[in-house]
Structure 1
Amino acid sequence: MIGMARERRLAEIFVEVADSLVDDFDVIDLLQRLSTRCVELLDVSAAGILLADAHGELQIIAASDEHTRLLELFALQHDQGPCVECYRTGRPRTNIDLTRPETTVAWPRFAVRARETGYVATHAIPLRLRSRVVGALNLFQTEAHRLGDDDIALARALADVATIAILQQRTLEQSHVENSQLETALSNRILIEQVKGVLAERWETSVDDAFAAFRSYARSRHLRLSEFATQIISGGFDTTEIPPPAAAADRSGDHRG
């Protein structure tokens, strides 16, 4: 029954993604959803999608949550870690035991920080379309168990969906997405990071809750995350119009009382 429920949920997710791949879709929001779907469908604790910039260095574009320590783990992989190897070779690295000494020898900063954050295993799946690799999907586990072949196959399918989203063509004749477009997506992610910090400080809440409130407001009004973030950073939008997270609203009520 559990398997049937997952298959039904998987079908719903692929329909959701297909419906999103329309003209001028919000690629960051779509990748964000795919990251959270990885945690929902696979037996993993966290997921992130990294894209290569114009210099071939991996940068975080979406994560299943916005916790600082998790984002730091992704950021560390610009020069070492399983995602770097996965990106360079185009081959997946799965069921990597972070507690093994050889893992620490291979990626000292990454492995140590991952264990400190509570993760014991990790996986890296390439974002690849034929011979072109544009990044990697990174999965983390807090419990020591192997992901089976079916879960790995599903992770690869989700990575393929992310790749298609990233390489979505403006016209059928267009053969590839220029680096400048990927650079724009990465720049937009930086803007969103800034907004998260601004809102979290203003509401005295976590960046995860601040991002959820920001994203919920944008989606309810059909605003692209990057464009909404630009409005906020430029001062062109009054952020008091965004309903704060419940915890922040409760504190505000306490202050008024």
Structure 2
Amino acid sequence: MTREQRLAGIFVEVADSLIDDFDIIDFLQRLTTRCVELLDVTAAGILLVDPHGDLQIIAASDEHTRLLELFALQHDQGPCVECYRNGAAHIDIDLTDPASVRRWPRFAPHAVATGFTTTHALPLRLRNRVIGALNLFDTEPGTLAPEDVTLGQALADIATIAILQQRTLEQTHTEKGQLQTALTSRIVIEQAKGILAERWQTSVDDAFAALRTYARSHQLRLVEVARQVIDGAIDSAAIAGELSQEG
């Protein structure tokens, strides 16, 4: 699939986000995967601000625990925090640079230990309001080309539009409600995939893939299936049958 075809697919998915019964978590997860494909980076994650002003992970290009921990570290320290606070992109950050270690003494060493050498942070913004950040990681040193920075920001803007679903940020109570709903949904999904991974003795990646495939094939929202798993209202064997179908 060409880069142009992938971009076209993203815009089709954005159009789908305008309907009422839209699975925002699944869309954002797919968007992070598209970021990896289109921008030639190793990993991507989307962080949203919670009601306390802290950034929380809402979607990631994969579900490896160490990567999720790395994203989680940025709730109070790291490029994404600064990106969110000043609304400006932070590009081509060398995590091995002593200056980066001094600037983010907990985040930078953890990122390097996880295997990453470079990071970029792009704001999720609409006009003058910022609701989070798109974080990109690479295991290879290097820089983002200007056209990739532009594309990355466009993808971050797409994420913002999907999250807000045509609602204006001037409606503060609506904005906070939408963001909190998305963050709560992520927590429920985390619990469900943990339950399934332990039950099946498999990876959280496989558990998450099975959840997503089951939700799609039964036309259910991801969080609805996750709640059923937690409540014991669904036979996990039925979901396990989806493991071999995810591709």
TM class by shorter-chain length? over 0.9
The residue matched to 2:106 in structure 1 has which SS? helix
Kindly indicate whether residue 139 of structure 2 is the aligned counterpart of residue 135 of structure 1.
Answer: no
Partners of 1:169 and 1:175 within 8 A in 2: no
In the alignment, which residue of structure 2 is the partner of 1:253? none
Output the CA distance in 1 between the equivalents of 2:118 and 2:165: 32
Counterpart among 222, 245, 250 of residue 243 in structure 2: 245
Q: Please state how far the C-alpha of 1:6 moved relative to its aligned partner.
A: 1.3
Partners of 1:43 and 1:147 within 8 A in 2: no
Amino acid at match of 2:212: R
Q: Please state how far the C-alpha of 1:218 moved relative to its aligned partner.
A: 0.6
Amino acid at match of 1:187: T
- 1:149-164 paired onto structure 2 within 5 Å: 149-164=146-161
Amino acid at match of 1:12: G
Partners of 1:94 and 1:122 within 8 A in 2: yes
In the alignment, which residue of structure 2 is the partner of 1:223? 220
Partners of 1:44 and 1:139 within 8 A in 2: yes
Indicate how the Cα distance of structure 1 residues 8 and 245 shifts in structure 2: closer, same or farther if over 3 A, else same: closer
Q: Please state how far the C-alpha of 1:155 moved relative to its aligned partner.
A: 0.4
Kindly indicate whether residue 205 of structure 2 is the aligned counterpart of residue 208 of structure 1.
Answer: yes
Kindly indicate whether residue 65 of structure 2 is the aligned counterpart of residue 61 of structure 1.
Answer: no
Deviation by residue 1:24-63 (Cα, 9 ceiling, x = unmatched): 2111111111111101111100000000000110000000
Could you list the runs of 5+ residues in structure 1 that have no partner in the other structure? Answer: 247-257
The residue matched to 1:94 in structure 2 has which SS? strand
Indicate how the Cα distance of structure 1 residues 152 and 38 shifts in structure 2: closer, same or farther if over 3 A, else same: same
Amino acid at match of 1:151: D
In the alignment, which residue of structure 1 is the partner of 2:108? 111
The residue matched to 1:62 in structure 2 has which SS? strand
Kindly indicate whether residue 186 of structure 2 is the aligned counterpart of residue 189 of structure 1.
Answer: yes
Which structure has the larger Rg over C-alpha atoms? 1
Q: Please state how far the C-alpha of 1:175 moved relative to its aligned partner.
A: 4.4
Amino acid at match of 2:22: F
The residue matched to 1:188 in structure 2 has which SS? helix
Output the CA distance in 1 between the equivalents of 2:159 and 2:117: 25
Q: Please state how far the C-alpha of 1:200 moved relative to its aligned partner.
A: 0.6
Q: Please state how far the C-alpha of 1:147 moved relative to its aligned partner.
A: 0.8
Partners of 1:91 and 1:125 within 8 A in 2: yes
Partners of 1:120 and 1:141 within 8 A in 2: yes
Kindly indicate whether residue 19 of structure 2 is the aligned counterpart of residue 7 of structure 1.
Answer: no
Output the CA distance in 2 between the equivalents of 1:237 and 1:142: 39
The residue matched to 1:66 in structure 2 has which SS? coil
Report the TM-score, using the length of structure 2 for normalisation. Answer: 0.93
Deviation by residue 1:173-216 (Cα, 9 ceiling, x = unmatched): x8453312211211110110011111111111110111001111
Partners of 1:48 and 1:64 within 8 A in 2: yes
Output the CA distance in 2 between the equivalents of 1:62 and 1:187: 12
Amino acid at match of 1:226: V
Amino acid at match of 2:201: E
The residue matched to 2:19 in structure 1 has which SS? coil
In the alignment, which residue of structure 1 is the partner of 2:229? 232
Counterpart among 93, 98, 102 of residue 101 in structure 1: 98
Q: Please state how far the C-alpha of 1:93 moved relative to its aligned partner.
A: 0.3
Output the CA distance in 1 between the equivalents of 2:47 and 2:75: 9
Q: Please state how far the C-alpha of 1:76 moved relative to its aligned partner.
A: 0.2
Output the CA distance in 2 between the equivalents of 1:40 and 1:20: 21
Output the CA distance in 1 between the equivalents of 2:14 and 2:166: 15
Q: Please state how far the C-alpha of 1:23 moved relative to its aligned partner.
A: 1.6
The residue matched to 1:85 in structure 2 has which SS? helix
The percentage of counterpart residues that share the same residue type is: 68
In the alignment, which residue of structure 1 is the partner of 2:89? 92
Partners of 2:74 and 2:80 within 8 A in 1: yes
Report the TM-score, using the length of structure 1 for normalisation. Answer: 0.90
